[in-house]
Chains A and B, each alone.
Chain A
């Protein structure tokens, strides 16, 4: 039976990737359908109740720069905000928020429900409608056929999901939800390279059974940071504290005693878990000399007593979970509300994707989130935004778009996945970004909002606010450049309390701001008036402090950009390019990089090989010209 309507874009899945994907397509004006097995779970946080952190808040603010939902929902649902790395320089600073699960989900639901062009339909997706090598729509559990120009799959951990608690296991997409087995089966018939990954989550604890008086209190920042460029502290609900406790020798003994019933250590689980988010049994085994690990005790919300003990994710049997939790300070009488578990699921080798997140094998089919081997709400949301955007562009018969590595963490994420693939759940870190000094969370809007506007993603309100901010930054920078302080003047005397040596000549305020010991607030008021908007002041200050480094990175980027702009034709036969080793021919033929820049980042591709490609392209080009 056919669905009564057809759509421009169908998004399958209502998690963090799915919501950003369907919102993006709808903002761009496409008739969009969100197909989910449960409308109630749209925007649910399946694992830890937190958004942001190092590398991750960068992605959240990039989504926000495109007018996405995640940052705004975080401001509405955040019950504790902190700036990490606050003393380490702006490029590596990151905002992290504990989120009230219910408030966060409600905020996402509110945004999704009020988005024009977007409709939902509750049914599991079982199959794809395929004609030749092009996807034409989806088939639901009840056999309903829905047609669309583009389909975005954001299946999370649901594809072939298996949940493990001790040696017991059962099929599930998340605790309490069924897996998507029919779709998994169907996708395995297509020529994708499928693998298995593993992730885990800790047991949850009832706060009424916990003694917080023996734990270390961890409050939020005094001046609460805000996640969205459009947000304010007024959006935030009541703010509360987190706590820290520790594992001890006794805990570790209990864990070692239960390993024979661990699915990880008895070989039941074949999927690979992340090295940076190991289960507690992994931590104890791999770092045997550490006698204690810190555990962050995070509230799940204002209206619930449930706690999330961050750092003891585990798939040990339930009796071992109880014993190990009771061995910790403050948890002696803890009541467990839900057991911890590990989940194994299918993912598809992201090397089979284009940078637009469209699959190479099937036109019109896009993948985003954990299906591509990533982990994290933020990584999923960012990919969802990109996949939704490109699904919409395809429906409008426009060229695909994606950010480069020097433009966004989203660009780094996608390029890493496509050029290197991944064999563990991929998480963002700032050390993955070679242009880290440019890709800051504070300037995500300056980097991306204009592009977002051009793509049709950014609404009127944000665009107006953005333009005003950008002009204010430019105005203030000009003022500092053209305001001079004379040696020996009263203003100079005021500054000399900060600098070691007296000023010997005339300096502009901008020159002075470049000195490490002087900040914007020290000098902006000396002549004229400092700007009121802290975001503007921050941008002016950072540009001054990083000037030399940014100039060097821009030069590096300029070099690279030329390679990025040189397209490698899809029909290029690498065996015909002389002088390439067999290994390189094979890699290039398999991965089919879209540009010379992507080719240059494939492991083993040498500068000499790039030269050969360039010469071949040039020859080819001339031949075409001659015959034309």
Chain B
């Protein structure tokens, strides 16, 4: 058989480089490209002609307007039917379009997958194959890093709790099916329904959080931490360009956690400035300090500020050992040496042993641009083909799919008392979530069953 025919599903991705550009393109390839065009545009564009039209969501509201191009296979880049939607760019709008395309039956493409299909369909010659293999290699490695990165902090904990509760439910359902003589017929009592509803409620709240944007719209959490008077509030002001924190020279002035939403080239960033961390008899101040610690422990990135006039060190542990020891993820530290205007250090990246080190002057804004670029890279919004943004999109797709299966499963349980169909929907829901948490096989499940129940006829 022809290897190109191995792909029967439809893939989609944002084809333009991440960041705020003039044009943003979502590309769709596969057998469903035509019906997706029809659903989003109201018509199938004439092949190889540009049409200016609105891109619609499921309520016929316009998501964006732009050019739609349609290429019929085999006369396309991939050799399959291809739809290209060229809109106004901007990550949030592009993400909406990609989300809609996925709802209509596409899935987010793996890194290098368009090129792979092009090659398998004889759209590229042999000399290009090597490059594709390299692309898949490097891009999938990066995607894996991004996926891990997008799963840090509180959200990750919630997803893992969700998956764990689903596994617990499956243990009961599968045990009842495979071991009916073991006095464990849970399908007939109310436990399974109650547990299923609780998994569904759990999923709904995770999805709400994800869609509210802590995950996607607002980007990642960055904490600015440091000893009193290191210049944290000044840096926050420098990054955001507004005077939100009271900046004084008296230690302890910034008493509460301050939040600031900023955009770097259209990429959302959620910055938290913490109160100066120190032991204090002041009750109000110590509440602020406790809240600060919560934020720090959940942060995606910690900017550890140090007053450059007080130490020459670039090592987090030398700068503030008791702080670094308390961090669950010390590898997420970037050291910011402030007050370059006073120390005379050259601004920008410095050599560090275990962490990235950047020298700046928060007061003058010197070195702040370097820091912005650094944050972009850390977020996965660099020029590479896949960033954390897409990784997160995949996670949300997975949650959506899981929801559909759980809804079906509840219908089967209530409408038809069909335990085996509920089991099938739970299996599919878990398959969807495997995208986020890694594989969970039937063997893993059996292991959990044998650990939970005494099976043994």
Q: A residues bordering B, Cβ < 8 Å?
A: 54-55, 84-85, 87-89, 91-92, 275-278, 283, 286-287, 290, 293-294, 296, 310-311, 420, 429-432, 434, 436-437, 516, 546, 549, 558-559, 562-563, 565-566, 578-579, 603, 606-608, 611-612, 614-619, 621-623
Contact = CB atoms under 8 A, between A and B. Distances in A.
Contacts of A615: 116, 119-120, 129, 132-133, 136
A291 B1 CA distance: 60
A310 B457 contact: yes
A611 B133 CA distance: 8
B110 A607 contact: yes
Closest 9 CB pairs of A and B: A579-B137, A516-B416, A608-B140, A89-B420, A275-B450, A287-B454, A431-B174, A429-B178, A276-B455
A436 B424 contact: yes
Contact of B177 (A92, A614, A617): A92
A584 to B, nearest CB: 12
28 contacts: A54-B179, A87-B188, A88-B177, A88-B418, A88-B420, A89-B421, A92-B178, A92-B419, A92-B423, A275-B450, A277-B456, A283-B456, A420-B443, A429-B446, A431-B446, A432-B446, A437-B420, A516-B415, A562-B1, A578-B137, A579-B137, A603-B439, A611-B110, A611-B113, A611-B136, A615-B136, A618-B129, A623-B126
Given A92-B423, A429-B178, 11 more contacts: A85-B180, A283-B456, A296-B181, A431-B178, A578-B137, A579-B133, A611-B112, A614-B116, A615-B120, A618-B129, A619-B126
B121 to A, nearest CB: 10
B24 to A, nearest CB: 26
B280 interface: no
A91 B439 CA distance: 25
A293 B456 contact: yes
B141 to A, nearest CB: 9
Interface in B1-27: 1, 3, 5-6, 8-9
Contacts of A55: 178
A618 B119 contact: yes
Contact of B3 (A84, A287, A621): A621
B136 A612 contact: yes
A92 B420 contact: yes
A608 B111 contact: yes
A252 B110 CA distance: 56
Given A85-B180, A283-B454, A615-B129, A563 B6 contact: yes
Q: Categorize the interface residue count of chain B.
A: 35 or more
A546 B423 CA distance: 13
A608 B136 contact: yes
A54 B456 contact: no
Contact of A432 (B112, B132, B442): B442
A546 B181 CA distance: 25
Contact of B420 (A91, A311, A603): A91
A612 B3 contact: no
Contacts of B174: 431
Contact of B180 (A84, A287, A606): A84
A276 B184 CA distance: 14
B6 A562 contact: yes
Interface in B95-143: 110-113, 116, 119-120, 126, 129-130, 132-134, 136-137, 140
Contacts of A283: 454, 456
Contacts of A287: 454
Contact of A612 (B120, B133, B427, B455): B133
A270 B19 CA distance: 61
Nearest to B420: A89
Nearest to B176: A88
A535 B356 CA distance: 71
Contacts of A286: 454
B450 A294 contact: no
A614 B140 contact: no
B162 interface: no
B183 interface: yes
Contacts of A275: 447, 450, 455
Interface in B393-422: 415-421
Contacts of A612: 133, 136-137
Nearest to B421: A549
A296 B457 contact: yes
B445 interface: yes
A581 to B, nearest CB: 10
Interface in B181-200: 181, 183, 187-188
Nearest to B445: A431
B137 A562 contact: no
Contacts of B457: 277, 296, 310-311
A602 to B, nearest CB: 11
Interface in B431-456: 439, 441-443, 445-447, 450, 454-456
Contacts of A437: 420-421, 424
A578 B446 contact: no
Contacts of B8: 558-559, 562
Nearest to A286: B454
A585 to B, nearest CB: 13
A608 B110 contact: yes
